[in-house]
Structure formats: structure tokens, C-alpha cells
Amino acid sequence: MGTISVTILIFLIFICIAIASLIVLKIKGRLIPNAVIAVLFCFATCIASVFGFINYGEDYDAYKKLQWQTLTPDQIQPLVDNGYTVFIDVTADWCNICYANKAGVTHREKIVNALTQKHIILMQGDWSQPNMVVENYLQMQGLNSVPYNRVYGPGAPNGIVLPSQLTVEAVMFALEKAKG
């Protein structure tokens, strides 16, 4: 726990003690406005939320472990034939949903841990600039837009198409099913 977290925790404890003291004084007959207690309670709730967010426990730099290879469609089937699971991510810098997918799913520690297993190969096609390999791959899939994610593996040699807006559950399900 960092210095900021300890400070927030101490401050939160202090506010809770103050609220409890005010409630005890009110019960003993002191004129303590209910609004004061309510405001302090709301304040404590906000601080607790910040504390919970800071100490969520997730490694926000986990995504740095991901080792992406350039999308090479003709290598997918041989890798699957050799028992590998291949996770395809076609993305672009100008794609807002792609950024949301990264922040909300593929850069999350749970997904990073799943994607960094030895039997998983990561291939990424970047369509930020014109790229014939990416364009041809998308056309073979019957698409002309990003984001596009697909998981191939021994259990899914034809691949499992993931939804445009990824979810942790969808990715985990596809990885498990593709593994075979």
C-alpha cells in the first residue's frame, strides 16, 4: 500500500470516528443537525470509493507483457495445426472502439495473463494506414471495418469471431473453446 493509500485510509477512519461521535452525541441529547451527519457520511462514501479505486489490485501496466506479431494470415493455419491458439486483433489508431477494447478488455490483467500463456500467439493487424495484408484479411472475412478480433485454435480451427465491443467474458470463453 502506497503513501497516498495510507493517508486516504487514515483520513477515512478519522471521518468514520467523527460520524460515530456525532451520532453518540445526538443520542445523548446534543443538537446535532442530521444534515451534518449526512454530509459527512456522503463525504466518507466518496473517499471510500476513491480508496477502492486506487486499491483495485489490478496491474495497469500488465499490457506491456503482450508480444504482438504482425498479422500474417498464411501462418494462422500452420500454427493451429501445431496446437497453438492464435488471437487476432485488427485495430487502427483512429478507431474509438479499438481504444475502448484495449482499455476495458485486452489490457486488463486477467486477459493479459490469459493471452501470455505459452500456447497462445498474438497477431495484430494495424489499419491506421493503408495496409494491403490487413485489407485482404478483412475482405476474406467479409468485412471492411475495425475492430475485428478472432480466436483460432485446435478447438476452433475456423476461428471464433468476437463481438466488436469486446468483453472479458467473451475473450475468456473464446480462448477456452479454441484451446480444444
Contact 177, 156 (CB under 8 A): yes
* pLDDT given for residue 1 in this prediction: 53
pLDDT in tens, 55-107: 666 777 889 999 999 999 999 999 999 999 999 999 999 999 999 999 999 99
Q: By mean pLDDT, which of 6-15, 83-92, 112-121, 163-172 is the weakest?
A: 6-15
Give the three-class secondary structure for 79. helix
* pLDDT given for residue 90 in this prediction: 98
| pLDDT-based confidence at residue 117 (cuts at 50, 70, 90) | very high
